Structure 1
């Protein structure tokens, strides 16, 4: 059977990202149609509202103006995740922090990791990248004269999830002729071979397609409730299984940090994301180590005001992913595919990655779909496992001992085998590019370097020649000078956002 009709179930960020990826890939194919069916009464969850730099390439590919994106979605720039109090305060000081930066470390050529290991006199990010000082100074990653999607430094975005979904929807419908159907699915019909045959809706009758994409969120109506694809639970490795999310207004003159703030507490951590007119704050915690009442009390303490005065949501988080992501004639994306807590903004990252992958490899018929499924499931399982390891690394490297939560995170039985092997290897030698041999590493060398040495991982120092040490010192000074230059030349974050809102940026 040829694949001519594609149906996406569910809107939100996942559904409309998929619609744009497919629309772009099929824009010259008149024989294939894409429709998106969503219920008009299901709200967007919007956990985290943060992205990673790869989203810039997708938005540019979709033909979306960065200026309009920033104007319409309350966007702010994100150059880093600033991790606060993830290390023991007695050893590393109260309010200890490090940056997981979005610009490449050691941009002038020489890898300065060994130089840092030999001295450890300043924060790793501060030595290897000018972006550390730019973030701390509250500067933007670009100037108004930069073209759209270009900048002096690497960056991603913070955004309003509901407005982002609407922007993606408008683009998919207008530019790629995606059909938008508002209807509630009442029943899913199956074929004799177990494939999905059609969706029975409340106001559009029976809707059928050749290929279905499940973006129905945690409900997972197709991949879970209908096709019964098993779930791979990861709660024995990642403990934070609940979040309290709240939106707090900010003043129009208040400075906007150009990074996500991730502050650790005794049973998890707090995200703090500043948009143009509000902060999105989330208290992430493990229900094994803290109850809801204490979590609310701790969040109120963090905010300096009673959280009960605002509308807040308590969100249970089922940690893990589907054993198969592409099963029969159904693909799961977004929260239907899995969820691993919002640390490092992995939800949008994995959705964008998977949607782009399937759009570029869309099979022409059911036979090709079956062949693709094995490869796709293998790739996505590899990607998800590496993400589990990267998130776990933040917890198991911490030397905090002020609660059972942090002590238990260092229990070897909770650390994935591959991560444990890598950490043992990196005791003697700092990570190198060859350690990340797959093209499907969602987090790569630079990401690991910033986190490992931001958290003071004790890699042994290698012997270096006097000439090499002098070269490192010269380059370290050059990076420091570049940082000073950028701090002086780049605009304050809010100032740039206001200029973009007024004037826009030059299209590429």
Structure 2
């Protein structure tokens, strides 16, 4: 039996991402109709404003121009994340480091031995240009750069609500995705346990052949109707709450081309610059900090009186569904799982899982079980490794100034995979071959920047004189290019101002 009617329950970033992925994959199937059912009563979380470079591939695949993204979503560039205060401050050790979107292998060779011998005098991010450009507030692109290309790799910060609207417009106009406004309150299963039809708030019922659950933390279909359990990961990731605010900025305020992740006594603060505002969030563990203390901490960071703040509180349930594809339902976004947004994981995992599902989706119902079993294994593996990577940031900290940091190190529960990797990396630096699966969404490059950014100790590797000379030459090339680009590239704000002026002029001439 062929699938002809697909319903996506919920809009927002997750719903419209999968709508585009599915529509692209099924574009030759003229008899298939995709409908996004979006509730006018339920808002979206809307704080996932940071991305990783993988999003560029999806946007190009959908046929969305970078110019339209920058012009309509209050977008800025992101060349990485700057971590501040994740380690104790001392005279010998910096309290900040960068995780850039770059490879730390100058000339394509492993130069970690050079860093290990000179860690007291350099940052590991010196092995790429991104950190220097970020510190000097440079744009990653020249004025003449082609779309989705730059002098260094980059992603974006954007207004999540406007990003969802851009995806929706593209799906409707370019890929003929239908859009329906209605509130779904439940579903009815058939005798085989599959979803037979959804139930609307007004009592009406409607049947589709396949359903994509993007209903957020409610997980109306996969979680409630099909009773697929959530695998709780709160013992590994201790943060469970966030306070989010939006702070207006002036049109000439400087723009950092990075996300700031600043640690505090019971979690961390995100600070994301958009064109006209900052998105700021105070992530914390409610077991270690009360809500009133969290508001006070956010107030102190923003230098705004606490009584003038009206933060939005976001409860965070750490974990993922034991299956993301069951029967005739796939769950994506928050309906599938969530881990705190330290490394822009939410949109990344959603985009990855949506692409995986769409590329393995068969319009023949009889063939779905094989694809679903495979995809479930892949997504489970991806979630486990993402949780490992997020937990790594806390586990490596040498902070002992609060119970929160002590609990993240002394009392931590690591996965067997992460425990094995860390034990191995104590005597040999991480290698590409340590990440044997292409579904390690964060691989050796990402781990190296965090491990060595947080002064992880690996036994020094002896270098030959030739090797040291070669590595130093490569490092000098990077420093020279960093210096040149910091002079050539425009200030981040100036580049965006010139872009918006040119975009507006071109629009007015149409």
The TM tier, using the shorter chain, reads over 0.9
Deviation at 1:144, TM superposition (A): 1.6
- 1:497 is aligned to 496
Secondary structure of the residue aligned to 2:343 is helix
Correspondence list, 1:300-315, <5 A? 300-315=299-314
Cα gap change, 1:162 to 1:204, in 2 (>3 Å): farther
- 1:473 is aligned to 472
Correspondence list, 1:178-327, <5 A? 178-202=177-201, 205-327=204-326
Structure 1 runs (4+) deviating above 4 angstroms are none
Deviation at 1:46, TM superposition (A): 1.5
Secondary structure of the residue aligned to 1:344 is coil
* Partner Cα distance (2:273, 2:209) in 1: 42
Secondary structure of the residue aligned to 1:428 is coil
Secondary structure of the residue aligned to 2:231 is strand
1:331-390: CA deviation from partner (whole Å, max 9, x where unpaired): 010000010111101010000001011111111222211111111110000000000100
Contact 1:40 1:184 in 2 (8 A): yes
1:395-445: CA deviation from partner (whole Å, max 9, x where unpaired): 000000101111111136522221111011001111111000001111011
* Partner Cα distance (1:483, 1:121) in 2: 21
Secondary structure of the residue aligned to 2:137 is coil
Across the two proteins, how many residue pairs are aligned to each other?
Answer: 505
Deviation at 1:106, TM superposition (A): 2.8
Cα gap change, 1:153 to 1:504, in 2 (>3 Å): farther
- 2:373 is aligned to 374
Deviation at 1:216, TM superposition (A): 0.3
1:195-222: CA deviation from partner (whole Å, max 9, x where unpaired): 0011122469322211110000011111
Cα gap change, 1:46 to 1:234, in 2 (>3 Å): same
- 2:19 is aligned to 19
* Partner Cα distance (1:37, 1:92) in 2: 56
Are 2:340 and 1:338 equivalent residues in the alignment? no
* Partner Cα distance (1:92, 1:220) in 2: 48
Secondary structure of the residue aligned to 1:222 is helix
Contact 1:247 1:310 in 2 (8 A): no
- 2:429 is aligned to 430
- 1:70 is aligned to 70
- 2:351 is aligned to 352
- 1:166 is aligned to 165
* Partner Cα distance (1:8, 1:247) in 2: 29
Correspondence list, 1:8-157, <5 A? 8-90=8-90, 96-157=95-156
Structure 2: unaligned runs, 5 residues or longer: none
Cα gap change, 1:248 to 1:374, in 2 (>3 Å): same
Contact 2:115 2:124 in 1 (8 A): no
Contact 2:36 2:178 in 1 (8 A): yes
- Of 346-355 and 113-122, deviating more is 113-122
Deviation at 1:47, TM superposition (A): 2.3
* Partner Cα distance (2:88, 2:150) in 1: 36
Contact 1:196 1:330 in 2 (8 A): yes
Contact 1:333 1:355 in 2 (8 A): yes
1:57-105: CA deviation from partner (whole Å, max 9, x where unpaired): 1001110110111010000000010000000113656x71000001222
Cα gap change, 1:92 to 1:408, in 2 (>3 Å): farther
Contact 2:142 2:150 in 1 (8 A): yes
* Partner Cα distance (2:27, 2:435) in 1: 34
Contact 2:113 2:462 in 1 (8 A): no
Deviation at 1:108, TM superposition (A): 2.5
1:286-325: CA deviation from partner (whole Å, max 9, x where unpaired): 0110010000001000000124424321111011000111
* Partner Cα distance (1:327, 1:92) in 2: 53
Structure 1: unaligned runs, 5 residues or longer: none
* Partner Cα distance (1:497, 1:190) in 2: 51
Contact 2:100 2:125 in 1 (8 A): no
